[in-house]
A = this chain, B = another copy of it.
Amino acid sequence: MTTEQMPGRVVPTLEAVAARAGVSRATVSRVVNGSPKVTAEVVAAVERAIADLNYVPNRAARSLASRRTQVIALVLPESTAKVFADPFFASIVQGVALALADTEYTLNMVISSETNPDKTRRYLMGGNVDGALVVSHHSGDHSYAQLGASLPLVFGGRPVSESEHSSYYVDVDNVAGAQVATQHLIDRGRRDIALITGPQDMPAGLDRYTGWKQAMSQAGLDTSLVAYGDFSPASGSDAMRRLLADGRRIDGLFAANDQMAAGAYSAIHEAGLSIPGDIAVVGYDDDNFGLMSSPPLTTVHQPSIGLGEAMARVLVRLLAGEPVDRVTLLPTELVVRQSS
């Protein structure tokens, strides 16, 4: 069956409200927008009329006249969408949505296709949104940085290129998180602590490497036990196997994310070693992988919902013309379980 289109306007216009309240449209507009210079009585009358008529302002008209859209875009690269399975991204989206729910802004999710990135760029620049949040895993995705000149932009995750240091971004303090994780292993008496890190073109990979190295150096420990993965479980087992194959002594492992830690688990067990008996393991992300593994994984918890919220809030403040720090770093928290 087919659907008939909706009948004319279901909702009354501002004009109807004005008529009912016995004032001009301009006044109704003022009341709706909370202008201070309207008599209390008039405000009351207008508000009653609004309630009686069940009036809802038309966004399109408002936007056209005011040249503001009240729309904030959340841009996710398609590749990110594919790894949407990563609960981290899901939480960011959730955080953004939650933070925006309390504002006048509407959340517009945009999946920017890799095949046609210009489409997204043009959409963003076409005056269709007041600002955008860009979340990405890979450095390349900061190709949007240029847009920052003409459209308020807030990035999730530190830009890789320092030339982008002029942009606003919110990030979890990866260096500190990795530092604390590694220090925890050191405090537990481990000395030969290996690192499985992520791609070095990704800030998360880089920064966690840095944190590990800082902690190790400060403790006067060797920083050469390093293997690289791509944040996937499979790459974690591979990396661990390579580490073990080297034949060097290892009694601790810091994996730059839980998925790789989970992968490392298999390799460690394969080798007939125990966790944490032979090798104490700490991961990063606090996702399900770590929760469900046995032994449960000690890991670094990231405020992922908080990250989304913070991004949204920074942008909203930016749009309001309020002063905002270009960099917002969110603290992490070590969650100690049985693997260390």
Contact = CB atoms under 8 A, between A and B. Distances in A.
Interface of A: 1-3, 5-6, 9-11, 54, 56-61, 63-64, 67, 69, 74, 76, 81, 84-85, 87, 89-91, 93-94, 97-98, 101, 106-111, 113, 122-123, 125-128, 150-152, 262, 287-289, 292-294, 318-319, 321-324
24 contacts: A2-B323, A3-B318, A3-B319, A3-B321, A5-B321, A9-B67, A10-B127, A54-B122, A56-B122, A56-B127, A56-B128, A58-B127, A60-B69, A64-B64, A84-B93, A84-B94, A85-B91, A90-B90, A93-B109, A97-B109, A107-B109, A107-B110, A108-B109, A287-B288
Contacts of A93: 84, 90, 93, 109
B127 A292 contact: no
Nearest to A102: B113
B109 A109 contact: yes
Contacts of A91: 84-85
Number of copies of this chain that the complex holds: 2
A111 B94 CA distance: 9
Chain A contact residues, majority secondary structure:
mixed
A177 B258 CA distance: 31
Contact of A87 (B11, B85, B294): B85
B106 A111 contact: no
Nearest to A96: B109
Given A61-B64, A64-B58, A97 B123 contact: no
Contact of A2 (B2, B60, B122, B322): B322
A2 B326 CA distance: 11
Q: Which of A60, A85, A89, A93 has the most CB of B within 10 A?
A: A60
Given A6-B151, A61-B64, A98-B111, 20 more contacts: A2-B323, A11-B126, A56-B128, A58-B128, A60-B60, A60-B63, A60-B64, A60-B69, A74-B109, A81-B97, A84-B91, A85-B87, A85-B90, A87-B90, A93-B93, A97-B110, A101-B113, A106-B110, A288-B292, A289-B292
A5 B318 CA distance: 10
A321 B5 CA distance: 8
A101 B111 contact: yes
A65 to B, nearest CB: 9
Nearest to A293: B292
Contacts of A89: 90
Nearest to A305: B84
Q: Which of A54, A127, A262 has the most CB of B within 10 A?
A: A127
A293 B291 CA distance: 10
A318 B6 CA distance: 12
Which 5 A-B residue pairings sit nearest by Cβ, starting from the closest? A56-B126, A90-B90, A60-B63, A84-B94, A60-B64
